[in-house]
């Protein structure tokens, strides 16, 4: 495939390496000094987008309008998801979005749902989510932490909403799930789901050692969406 990279930071460079190892070519690069409006993407089969929350929807709509399937790993824009889905349907576009493209994290999501089911009703255990990322991470909490929290709320009747804070656990009522977001140098991403009681603690952690897992998942998603129409997530990729 011929791939357009939208965003050429550390993730973009990792995706470039993985894509080329899998026999694909990078035919366009969009970055802060070379906007998408200045690029001819007509020869590209698919776009992979890891940029900023402020630019993500612009990039998505641009690819829709030019009939280029797009894989979006940027988070922090999902409040606009419903309008993006509407536009996608109107122009017959193609989109895969995910809070995290790591295959390991998507398995972690499934384990999180099952654990939330098992712990539902066990009021002696209090749940929380902790995420740690590098200092350049723009959104807080991470999209992955939000996904984990929303899954817990969906599968555990104890919780109705979540609340986050930076650097320390937020003060919450018993029905609110706390998320702690921590920023440290050179941390690709660590997410922990905890259930704690006065007797013991249950911890489930996914720790990324580098960006290769995210990059591989994004390229696999790009391979999967080629030739398809509609809005998809990584669960579609993993369960196909």
d(CA 87, CA 231): 11
Handedness of CA 74, 102, 95, 162 (dihedral sign): negative
d(CA 116, CA 110): 10
Q: List C-alpha distances in Å: 3 to 10, 67, 75, 111, 224.
A: 17, 14, 21, 32, 13
d(CA 205, CA 144): 12
d(CA 209, CA 191): 12
195-201, long-range: CB < 8 A, 24+ apart: 195/115, 195/119, 195/122, 195/125, 195/126, 195/127, 196/125, 196/126, 196/128, 197/124, 197/125, 197/126, 198/124, 199/124
Residues annotated as catalytic (active site), given as ranges: 133, 137
Cβ atoms 129, 191 nearer than 8 A: yes
- The tokens describing 206, both together, are 């996914």
């Amino acid at each position: 495939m011929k791939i357009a990279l939208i965003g050429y930071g550390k993730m973009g460079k990792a995706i470039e390496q993985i894509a080329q190892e899998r026999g694909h070519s990078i035919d366009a690069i969009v970055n802060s000094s070379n906007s998408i409006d200045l690029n001819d993407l007509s020869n590209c089969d698919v776009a992979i987008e890891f940029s900023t929350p402020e630019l993500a929807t612009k990039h998505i709509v641009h690819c829709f309008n030019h009939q280029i399937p797009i894989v979006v790993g940027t988070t922090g824009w999902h409040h606009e998801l419903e309008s993006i889905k509407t536009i996608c349907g109107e122009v017959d576009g193609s989109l895969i979005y995910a809070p995290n493209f790591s295959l390991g994290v998507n398995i972690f999501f499934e384990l999180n749902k099952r654990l939330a089911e098992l712990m539902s009703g066990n009021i002696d255990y209090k749940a929380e989510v902790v995420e740690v990322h590098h200092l350049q991470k723009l959104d807080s909490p991470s999209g992955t932490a939000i996904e984990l929290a929303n899954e817990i709320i969906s599968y555990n009747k104890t919780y109705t909403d979540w609340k986050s804070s930076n650097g320390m656990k937020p003060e919450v009522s018993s029905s609110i799930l706390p998320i702690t977001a921590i920023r440290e140098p050179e941390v690709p991403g660590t997410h922990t789901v905890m259930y704690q009681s006065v007797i013991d603690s249950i911890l489930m952690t996914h720790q990324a050692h580098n960006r290769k897992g995210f990059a591989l998942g994004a390229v696999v998603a790009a391979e999967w969406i080629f030739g398809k129409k509609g809005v998809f997530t990584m669960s579609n990729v993993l369960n196909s």
